[in-house]
Structure formats: structure tokens, C-alpha cells
Amino acid sequence: QTIPNLTFHNGAKIPQLGLGVFLVKDEAELKTSVKTALEVGYRHIDTAMIYGNETYVGEAIRESGVDRKDIFITSKLWNYDHGYEEAKAAFQASLDRLGTDYLDLYLIHWPSAKYIESWKAMEELYHEGKIKAIGVSNFQIHHLEDLMAHTDIVPMINQIETHPEFPQNELHEFMKQHNILHEAWGPLGQGKHHLLEQPVLVELAEKYGKTPAQIVLRWHVERGIVVIPKSVTPSRIKENSEIFDFSLTQEDMEKIAALNSGRRYGRSPDDQKFLE
């Protein structure tokens, strides 16, 4: 099976499935997950400065033997690195740790103060060809409106918490209208709140001969969302990629959508104390 690409508004492409590496700090564990993912067909890795593993991600990619140009690498600008000069320096430091001279995607990790100045630095890096696509993460509608009102380039993607209990319907529609791709973090609900044990997911897993995790990932894919599930278990990394050989009926999509409870599992993007 091949992993499809989605296209940003600038024409660049992003594989619809990537590997998330949040909380994977151990060198051996990180390298095994990245190499397993590349072996089973992933070509997209989602890291961030704050994950503390960019160096290992870069090493694992080089050790895998897969060409850098065939891999889509995302990293993110952390909250205390905001500002025009600060963002440029933080970007360069990420490149140095990853051992590469460009990023496929660079995101503002959270909408901290000064994100407009950081975005202007990112626009320049984009025009210089050092970043192929620029985007944001954890932006609400009001943040996107503010950013678009004060800068030139509309973000190409917004990476936000999204799973059946928190589907982000309103933000999803807003982003669609502005050609901003939707990328889900925590697509599996971060292994929290027994999401994958919900009877409807277990029932659909049996119906399609898939696992609840695959059903949830397929639901995202059919909504046109980019997914970056995290696992350090080789069998699960493979399992999470086997979602492009079946499709859900409209009725089953709706059954999953009915799990919407408005329950955010992670931090709120309006948590000012965290963003300072």
C-alpha cells in the first residue's frame, strides 16, 4: 500500500500519515521507532525542539539509508523562542540538531505572544527555500484570524488536538474555507480515557477486520486530516500504517462522530500561564 499525499496551498505535498515522537527521549527507543517506521513505509516524522530528540531523529534517518529528500520532516518553534531574531536562531538550531539544511514543515508550536514576529521570520526562511511549508499548531480561530490579518502568508497547516471525542468541527470548517490543512495531534487520544475501548470502535474493528486504532486513524483520513500517531512498539507502528486498504461507510463515519463529547484531553491553547 502507498501512503497518499495531501497538497498545501503552495503546491508542496505532505504524506497523510507520519510518525509522532513526542515523549520518546531514549536514544535506542527513538531510533528503533523511526527506523521501523521507515522500513514499513512511513516517509514523514513529526518532532519538535521541546521533544529533545531532534538529534536522534536526524541520526536515525541517516542510519536508515533512506534519502533525506524522500523524507518529510516537521519540527516546531517552542514558546520561549518567539520573536523575529529568536525564531531564526531557533530554526537554525533545529536544522543543526537534525543535521539537515532545510525542513519540509516548520510550525509555531503554541500561540504564544510575539507569534506575529516569529511568523515574519518564518516567511523569510520560506522565501529563502529553507522551509518548504510553514504552519502553526494549537491555533484557534481567533489566533488564525489575527495572524492572517497581520502577515502575508496564510498558514499551510494547523496541527491541533483531534480525536473522536474532540473532533474540532468548527475549526475544521474554518480551516477548509482558508485552505489550511488540518493535522491531528493525539489522533488516538494519546492512549487516554480508554478511547480505544469504546464499544462502537470495538464493534467497527470487528466488522472491518481491523483494530480500534486503525478504525480511528481511518476516520481521520476520510475527514481529509493528516495523522501522526505515536508508538514505540514496532508491531503498532506497522498497524497504524495499515489504514489505506479499506474505507468506512458514511453511516460508520457518523457512528464515530457521535463519540464527540467536546472533551479536550490535552492543554488548552488559551492557557495563558503556559504560553508566557
Number of H-type helices and E-type strands within the chain: 11, 10
Please, which residue, 100 or 231, has the CB nearer to ligand NAD? 231
Is 51 among the residues known to form the active site?
A: yes
Q: Which residue has the cell 474505507?
A: 247
Min CB(65)–ligand NAD separation in Å:
23
Using CB under 6 A, which residues numbered 40 to 99 contact ligand NAD? 46
Is 142 one of the annotated binding-site residues? no
CB 275 within 8 A of CB 110: yes
Regarding beta strands 72-77 and 226-227, do their DSSP bridges make them parallel or antiparallel, or are they unpaired?
Answer: unpaired
Please, which residue, 121 or 160, has the CB nearer to ligand NAD? 160
Is residue 239 left, alpha or beta, with left meaning phi > 0 and alpha meaning psi from -120 to 50? alpha
Determine if 126 is a binding residue for ligand NAD (CB under 6 A): no
Determine if 185 is a binding residue for ligand NAD (CB under 6 A): yes
Using alpha carbons only, give the angle 239, 138, 70 rounded to the nearest 5 degrees: 45
Determine if 219 is a binding residue for ligand NAD (CB under 6 A): no
Instruction: Kindly name the residue from 42, 51, 115, 126 that is annotated as catalytic.
Output: 51
Among 75, 100, 137, 168, binds ligand NAD (CB under 6 A): 137
Please, which residue, 194 or 250, has the CB nearer to ligand NAD? 194
CB 130 within 8 A of CB 102: yes
Determine if 188 is a binding residue for ligand NAD (CB under 6 A): yes
> Which of the stretches 3-11, 59-67, 125-133, 226-234 binds ligand NAD when contact is defined by CB under 6 A?
226-234
DSSP per-residue codes, 202-220: HHHHHHHTS-HHHHHHHHH
Determine if 240 is a binding residue for ligand NAD (CB under 6 A): yes
First CA to last CA distance, the chain: 44
HSE-up (13 A, CA, CB side) for residue 81: 21
> Which of the stretches 15-23, 201-209, 244-252, 254-262 binds ligand NAD when contact is defined by CB under 6 A?
15-23
Min CB(15)–ligand NAD separation in Å:
14
Which candidate, 183, 151, 199, places its Cα nearest to that of 46? Answer: 183
Regarding beta strands 13-15 and 5-7, do their DSSP bridges make them parallel or antiparallel, or are they unpaired?
Answer: antiparallel
Min CB(213)–ligand NAD separation in Å:
3
Among 21, 171, 243, 248, binds ligand NAD (CB under 6 A): 21
- Total number of residues binding ligand NAD (CB under 6 A)? 25
Which candidate, 101, 94, 72, places its Cα nearest to that of 7? Answer: 72
Binding-site residue numbers for substrate are 109
Catalytic residue numbers read 51
- Residues forming the site for ligand NAD (CB under 6 A): 20-22, 46, 109, 137-138, 159, 185-191, 196, 211, 213, 228-231, 236, 239-240
